[in-house]
Every structure is written in structure tokens, then in C-alpha cells.
Chain A
């Protein structure tokens, strides 16, 4: 910190047609894209698993329970490395994956890893949401002649999602935080750009302060958005609804 902080550094040219600020923006876009895509995957897969966990079929609920245990008890970093380094070696057609450009490979590994990891958490939330509904809801759906899938689609899931929205919000915020792990396989997301900035600008303090602040702002923005959605979808008559 010889000369004090020097914020002008971000407007200097990093290459012919980009400033360091452009790098930060690019990193933010990658973090955003990874977070959003893996969230869609997590939500879809997690909902299916959550339903399987509650259907009256041992095999299905056992499978979903096993999935949750597997993905919850292995560190995220290890899962990411397995997706990135091991899976392409082990699956048929892995050579095709390895022939992709490295950035695409990193991106793909990050999205699949975060999506499947978070799906385990979403599954548990969906399950607890469904179990929190009174049993009468399921029985009423079936008694009205709805098939089991239709009971889930029109009765159980819409209600549970409105109830479990707050914990899902937490998972949504977490997925953006967890996405920073992807910088370890070289993905140039926000955290990855942060490291690169330190190397190129030799301004570690300024770089890290800005990158950390970006995470902070991203987080706050998502929180506010989700609060707003929560307010609009709250189920009247439950604790937490006003």
C-alpha cells in the first residue's frame, strides 16, 4: 500500500480494446449466467427428486434419498473437480467433451456441478413443503378423480412452492456464492477475474475490494428481488404471512 489506493487503475487499458473495468463486467456476466442456468437445472431436477421422495414407491423415494445423501456429503470443490477432470474420461463420448473449447468445458462443468449440487437441497425443501401440507389435500385431489401426477401438478406442488419460497430464496442466493468455486478450475467468473486483476494490475487491494463489493451488490439485488416475489406469493393463513 505504498501509494495509497488508486482507483483509476480500472480505467486503464487491459488490452487493445478493453479496460480492466470491462473484465469485471465480463466476470459479472459469467457469474450471472452460471448462477441462473444452474438454478434452472437445480429447480427442475430438485422438484422431480422432491416429488419422487414423497410418492408411495420405495424404489423412487429410495433413489431420491440416495441422491441427496451423495450430493450433500461430498464437498462442492471435489464434485466440481470430478465433473471437470473425471467425468469426461469416464463417459462414452467424453472425447467430444474434451474437444470443446476450454472455456465451454469450464462453464459446462460449473453449471452441471452447481445444478446437481443444489438440486439435492431443493429436493429436501420440496419434500418438506409437500409434507407440510395437510394430508387431506392429497386425498381430496385423488378423491376428485385426479391421477397421482395430476394431484401433484395441480394441488400439491403449487401450494408447496408458495410455502417453501423463503428457503428456496436462500438457496438461490447461495448458488451465486457457491459459483465462485468455479474460479478454481479456471473459469473467469467474478472471482476468477479478481485473481487475474491482481496479477495484471499489481493492485491487489483495489481489485479485491471491487470484486468483493460486486458480490455484495449482486447478493443484495437478488435478496430484494426475492423479497418482493415472496411478498406477492405468500399464502394467507400461514405463519410468516402478514
Chain B
């Protein structure tokens, strides 16, 4: 083994820089999860409605998102759409749209995955609940929001959190936009200091610790519930 591993390069400055990157990763994750749940619920309700156009739209949306690699989606949002917006809205090239693009891309893409979880959750609620709500005089929307969704979400929490963990891992793909999230910074520092091997291992280790702990917590929570 000719290569000498040394983690001594990871000092306070590096940790601080990585910490700032981690905040970006977490910001994208949080926004993606929240928007994913909101859009995902809408898609799921469309899918389960009785209006044919809405069903087709929701089905088509999910199929399209599942057929295109996330990397492709991100490249669309980083290379193509900012240019398009700049030419349409007459923005100057100085406006940095990368973070906005990332947030929109993840929100739209993840909505498809969240909608599938939410749909299964809604279908898991006994249909008697809907009939009872309707018998009490509620319309479809009211019954959904006050009766069905609260029960469905309670059952879905573990799956939603697991999807959140996957989303957190996927945020590393903003690398294609040179947006400096946690991984982008770790790799950048590695290149700068000639310590790519150590920084990659360190980044992998950090992701592992966070995701492992989070998934174990979900498991525990799920067993108790």
C-alpha cells in the first residue's frame, strides 16, 4: 500500500466549511420533503378521485418522473431551465438560480415518490371512514382533510421518513450543478488539499452515520407504534 492515509487535514476550518455545506444539503432535503408531501398529497388525491383527466394527469406525472434518472432531471434544471428563464424573464446572467433550481427540481421529482406512499396510505384507511364522513354530510374534500388524511398520515410516518432519508442521500447529486452542498465541498476540499481519498471516506462516513441513526430511529418508532 503506497498511499499514506492521513486524516490530519480535517481541522476546524474544514469542519466549519463542511458544516455550511451540510446546512445546504439539509435545506434542500427539508424543502423537498415538505413540498413533496404537499404536491404528493395533491397527486394522490387526483389519482384516487373519480375525474378521469385528473387520474390520467397524476398517473402520467408519476410514470414520467419514475422513468427519468434524477441526474437527468437535475441537469435539465441546472443547464437548460435557468437559461430559458433568463431569456424569457430578461434576467441578467448574474442572478444565481442554482439553489432555486435545485429546490424546484427536488420538489417536483420527489412529489411523484411521495404521492405513491401517500396513495397507499389513503387506501389503507378503511372505506367505512369515508362513507361515515359522507353520511355525516361532509363533501369529498372535507372528508379527505378532516377524516381520511389525518389517519393516513399517522400510518405513513415511517415510510415518509425513510423516503426523506433517501432524498437526503440524493441531494448529493446537486454535484452536477457545482452547488456546494456537503458532498460538493468535501470533494472540493479534497482536490484543493490533495486529500481526495480521505475526504471521500470522511463524507461517506458522515452520510452513513446520519442515515443509519435516522433509519434506526424510524425502526424503533415503528416498533413501538
Contacts and interface: CB of A to CB of B under 8 A. Distances in A.
Contact of B76 (A76, A90, A92, A212): A212
Interface stretch (B39-47, B130-138, B198-206): B198-206
A63 interface: no
A216 interface: yes
A180 B69 contact: yes
A86 B83 CA distance: 35
Interface of B is mostly: helix
B79 A198 contact: yes
B225 interface: no
A141 interface: no
B67 A216 contact: yes
Interface stretch (A11-19, A66-74, A102-110): A66-74
Interface residues of B, number: 38
A215 B207 contact: no
Given A77-B175, A85-B200, A208 B67 contact: no
Interface string B210-223: 01100100000000
A70 B211 CA distance: 10
B208 interface: yes
Interface residues of A, number: 40
B51 to A, nearest CB: 26
B68 A73 contact: no
A111 B160 CA distance: 30
A89 B204 CA distance: 16
A212 B183 CA distance: 26
Contact of A77 (B67, B75, B84, B183): B183
Contact of B70 (A92, A177, A194): A177
Interface stretch (B97-105, B117-125, B165-173): B165-173
Interface in B81-114: 83-84, 87
Interface string B157-196: 0000000000001101101100000010001000000001
A216 B68 contact: yes
Contacts of A81: 187, 200
Contacts of B170: 75
A180 B72 contact: yes
B79 A183 contact: no
Contacts of A70: 208
Interface in A78-96: 78-79, 81-82, 85-86, 89-90, 92, 94-95
Contacts of A198: 79
Nearest to B216: A69
B71 A183 contact: yes
B87 A184 contact: no
Given A77-B173, A81-B187, A194 B75 contact: yes
A82 B201 contact: yes
A205 interface: yes
B81 to A, nearest CB: 10
A212 B70 CA distance: 11
Contact of B200 (A73, A86, A92, A220): A86
Given A77-B183, A78-B183, A204-B83, A191 B71 contact: yes
A160 to B, nearest CB: 23
B145 interface: no
Contact of A191 (B69, B83, B175): B69
Given A85-B197, A85-B200, A208 B175 contact: no
A73 B213 CA distance: 10
B67 A220 contact: yes
Contacts of A78: 172, 183, 200, 203-204, 207
A219 interface: yes
A195 interface: yes
A77 B54 CA distance: 35
Contacts of A72: 211, 215
A79 B68 CA distance: 21
B64 interface: yes
Given A1-B87, A211-B72, A216-B64, 7 more contacts: A1-B84, A78-B183, A94-B3, A180-B71, A180-B72, A184-B175, A205-B80
Listed from nearest, the 3 A-B pairs whose CB atoms lie closest are A180-B69, A73-B211, A75-B169
29 contacts: A1-B87, A69-B212, A70-B208, A74-B204, A74-B207, A74-B211, A75-B183, A77-B172, A77-B173, A78-B200, A85-B197, A86-B200, A89-B3, A95-B2, A177-B69, A177-B70, A180-B69, A180-B71, A180-B72, A181-B69, A184-B71, A184-B175, A191-B71, A195-B75, A195-B79, A198-B79, A204-B83, A208-B80, A215-B68
